[in-house]
Structure 1
């Protein structure tokens, strides 16, 4: 980024921030869809049952841990690849 002028740096920063937001929203959407379809079974009540709430909490925790681990592995791979 040292070779970019201030305007180009600002534009690049905006593009990266927009991309990060899009990725976050995509991850949130995927999490919501997966956990809802896996855990919510009873549509006769407007509230979640205890079983559904527990399932969603476990599902979300598992999804986030998985996403974090994938990110770590990608960073490790990238560091190894860039180091060669």
Structure 2
């Protein structure tokens, strides 16, 4: 990054930020779609029922915990692979 000019660094930072936002929106959209499909099935009222609210809360919590664990596991595997490569193994 040091070899980039200030304007190139700004362009790169902007592109990274846009990509991260796009990824976040995709992940958020998947969460909403998954939990809504699983939990909301009664359209008799515009308000969520107590059952639907509880289901959505559990769904979001499980979804977040699952994604957090997946991220942790990916980091563990990545660190192990980097260590293996540093030792000269392939």
- Do the structures match in fold with TM over 0.5? yes
> In the alignment, what sits opposite 1:41?
41
**Map of 1:1-84 to 2, 5 A cutoff?**
1-83=1-83, 84=85
- TM-score for both structures, normalised by structure 2: 0.84
Give the Cα–Cα distance (whole angstroms) in 2 for the partners of residues 6 and 81 of structure 1: 34
Give the Cα–Cα distance (whole angstroms) in 2 for the partners of residues 28 and 81 of structure 1: 29
Q: Cα distance, 1:9 vs. partner?
A: 1.3
Post-superposition Cα deviations, 1:3-38, rounded to whole Å, max 9, x if no partner, equal: 222222111111111111111111110010000000
- TM-score for both structures, normalised by structure 1: 0.89
Q: Cα distance, 1:77 vs. partner?
A: 2.1
Tell me the secondary structure at the aligned position of residue 48 of structure 1. coil
| Unaligned stretches of 5+ residues in structure 1 | none
Give the Cα–Cα distance (whole angstroms) in 2 for the partners of residues 13 and 80 of structure 1: 29
Tell me the secondary structure at the aligned position of residue 41 of structure 1. coil
Q: Cα distance, 1:79 vs. partner?
A: 2.5
